[in-house]
Structure 1
Amino acid sequence: MDTQLATTIFESLASAVRLDVYRLLVKNAPDGLVAGEIAAQLGLPPTNLSFHLKAMTYSGLINVTAEGRYQRYRANLLLMHDLIAYLTAECCTGHPEQCFDADAVNACCEPTLSLSSTQTDSPS
């Protein structure tokens, strides 16, 4: 994977709706869901969902296959695994196997605040 593809994938996920869609499709892997099922489960209007599905398909995050008059969407799990591998390839000085050892990660990495604890309301 290269930086441009990783950027495209992150841009595609930079929406709460798209994150919800992707997570729903992962939950329903490998069968996937048709667009109407996605819209119903997430409470989205079909026109809004169509816009998001098109962007996610373009990035490669999801695949679509025609089933009669319906379109079935599936999460591209291989692409997500490749993205994770890209992000962690240089982990722990080129030893990514150590990244998943909690003791090793804690020993080499400074703790940081979680995103939720750093968010504040905008000043009035």
Structure 2
Amino acid sequence: MSADLPISSKYRSTPAKPVDTEERERLGRQLNDAFTRGELDADDYQHRLDTLYGASTLGELVPVVSGLAPLATFEEPEIVKQTGRPGEVGQPTDGRRFGLVLFAVLAAAVVLLVILGVIFLAVL
């Protein structure tokens, strides 16, 4: 019955681990959601709930989680998340800073040229 669960599933990889309250509540919500979506009939839903609340180890929960859709681990995929205006690639930059840096580089180049010119004229 555990064939549809990957070996990395905690229900198969650590079957002797005790079931905690948080795990029961999470699986209870997952079962309720599956029943609400019509993925489980009333008998299967009740059987899985009975198994859930009667289980003492994770291995005993395999029949409960088998065939259930996995829980989403995110609200919205990162690739879809919109943080800026449409068409905006990144944070807007301040053009004044670039202009200031460009001015400083040009001023340094002019000063360097003047110094080199004075040295060249002094040598002649």
TM-score band, normalised by the shorter chain? under 0.3
TM-score, scaled relative to structure 1: 0.22
More contact order relative to length (CA 8 Å, sep ≥ 6): 2
TM-score, scaled relative to structure 2: 0.22
